[in-house]
Amino acid sequence: MKKLCLSLALIICVGVFAYTLLPTANAAEAGIRESGNYLYGTPERTTLSAFKRAYTRPGYSVFDKDSNALPEDSLIGTGCKLCYEAGDVGETKELTIIVTGDIDGNGKVTTTDYIAIKNQLVRANLDDTKKLAADVDGYGISTSDYIKVKLHFEGAYDLYGGIIIPDESTDSSTTESEAVDEPWTSGWA
């Protein structure tokens, strides 16, 4: 049992370290961009008014997943639609917005999102739009995507810059004299 736990812990640690070294999409560097019928590069917690300052295409409208016009103070989430006139008069182009890590489309990365990725790994159940939001590193949905989204939610990783945020917090409530040396397996093995 100990060997299994040690092996699993080692695999997770190596996986997290290896995948943090891989490049990820940086919305600030790449900007908002079109690819096929999708619009990428909008980070979580972006309101429509902030989006309008960043996306410069003239004459577009943004709608929620249910095709309702999006109010200025609403968050843009995965599945929102951006529509604009293209080519001939009357011809409309519709792009589906993908917010990396926002699987449920509420415009924020939450526990629901990383749990959705975990469930996708066990049983494929996401539609194409949600799969694009879940594929953080662009290599297909994997454990690394789950880990990155979870760490982003916890504040230890930046999905939009690929930067590890070190935990510099200290627990000043325990002094050195109160510290107890316990075996590293204490409590779980």
Name the DSSP class of 60: E
What's the confidence (pLDDT) of residue 7? 42
Rounded Cα gap, residues 150 and 113, in angstroms: 8
Return the beta strands (E) in 21-150 as ranges. Answer: 33-35, 38-40, 60-63, 81-85, 92-97
In angstroms, the CA 107 to CA 70 distance is 12
Closest CA to 44 of 80, 12, 94, 19: 80
Query: What's the pLDDT band for 18 if we cut at 50, 70, 90?
Result: very low
Q: pLDDT (tens digit, 9 = 90+) per residue, 47-97?
A: 999 999 888 888 899 999 899 999 999 999 999 999 998 877 778 899 999
Q: What is the rounded average pLDDT of the residues 101-124?
A: 96
Q: What percent of the chain is predicted at pLDDT more than 90?
A: 57
Q: What is the DSSP string of 39-54?
A: EE-PPTT-BHHHHHHH
Q: What is the pLDDT of residue 87?
A: 75
Report pLDDT digits (tens) over 114-166: 999 999 999 999 999 999 999 999 999 999 999 999 999 999 999 988 665 55
164 three-class SS: strand
Q: Are 141 and 152 in contact, with CB atoms under 8 Å apart?
A: no
Please tell me the predicted confidence (pLDDT) of residue 14. 40
> What pLDDT, on a 0 to 100 scale, did the predictor assign at position 170?
53
2-164: CATH number = 1.10.1330.10
Q: Could you give the count of Cα atoms lying within 13 Å of 23 in the half-sphere of its Cβ?
A: 5
Q: Place 16 in a pLDDT band, splitting at 50, 70 and 90.
A: very low
| DSSP notation for 141-161 | S-HHHHHHHHHHHHTSEETTT
Quote the pLDDT of residue 185: 46
> In this structure, what is the dihedral angle of CA atoms 157, 41, 110, 68, given to the nearest 10 degrees?
170
- Domain boundaries along the sequence of the chain: 2-164
- Of the CA atoms within 13 Å of residue 115, those in its CB half-sphere come to 4
**In the prediction, which pLDDT does 166 show?**
58
Q: What does the pLDDT read at residue 11?
A: 45
